[in-house]
Amino acid sequence: MEEMVYAAGLCVARHSHDTSTFIYIIAGAHWSGHGRGGDTCAPRTVRFLPAGEPHENYFPVGSRSLNIELRQSILQLAAEHGPAICSPGELAPPSAAALGARLHREFRQKDDLSHLEIEAAILQLLVTGSQHSTPRRSSVPRWLLRIREMLREQEHSRLSLAELSRFVGRHPVQISRQFHHHFGCTIGEYMRRVRIARAQSLLSNRDLEVAEIALSCGFSDQSHFTTAFRRLTGMPPHRYRLQMNRRRQQSSPDTLSTT
């Protein structure tokens, strides 16, 4: 279990984890994209992320969450009661928020009995979540998933709706509406997040000039890159790089973890 703190403006590129995870959002909403679409993660909600599920995140404001990695043993124990939870997304039952708050409370004020409370709460979430995860409006069409992959693979290109339309054989209006419906953001917003996530990663390399990073991430020039970066993160690239370097020099870790 870890209490994670995320800075405002952080864009996390697509990645996955080896273990299944529960995420209890303590404060600060953020956006998460995954295999079944994309949506906003609101405070005081619990979300489930299966092992190996590719996902990406954008934090428009500062955010805190409690992340609980689930060992295989507890997943198997829950499965003995019934079907195991397997789909990413928010857990719908009203009890989920209370169980998430209970986990956070036990994590912060742990004593010799906290491990029992934590195990019980996790099992309850696994059992109720397997039957009552938030219903999706509908499954994401394959052609829409193909568009998202195309946008990621050609992040440097200036694709038009007409080109996307020819690629999947759908009307541009349908593409625009369905993308926003299933992923919770427009195509342009998604592409900006993908590019800025890559830029934030490259800014950790001190040998790269900002102008080089701008071009490698698909921006026409450094000015365009700086404007887009500031709009999404709240600061220019050079200040973001300074903050990253400052954090590296600090001895205290960014996370609180159990022992």
How far, in Å, CA of 189 to CA of 191, rounded?
6
pTM for this one? 0.79
DSSP β-bridge partners for residue 55:
15
If we measure between CA atoms, which residue out of 75, 80, 174, 169 comes closest to residue 125?
Answer: 75
Token representation of residue 126: 């696994």
If we measure between CA atoms, which residue out of 207, 219, 206 comes closest to residue 246?
Answer: 206
CATH superfamily entry for domain 2-132: Jelly Rolls (2.60.120.10)
CATH number at 142-247:
1.10.10.60
Strands (E), the chain: 2-6, 10-15, 20-27, 30-34, 37-41, 46-49, 55-59, 63-70, 89-90, 256-257
Determine the 3-state secondary structure of 78 from DSSP.
helix
Query: pLDDT digit of tens for each residue in the chain (259 aa)?
Result: 999 999 999 999 999 999 999 999 999 999 999 988 888 999 999 999 999 999 999 999 999 999 999 999 899 888 888 777 888 999 988 889 999 999 999 999 877 778 888 998 999 898 886 655 444 456 889 999 999 999 888 877 778 888 899 999 999 888 988 999 999 998 988 988 999 999 999 998 888 999 999 999 988 889 989 999 999 999 999 999 998 888 777 755 444 444 3
Where along the chain do its domains lie? 2-132, 142-247
Domains 2-132 and 142-247 share a fold: no
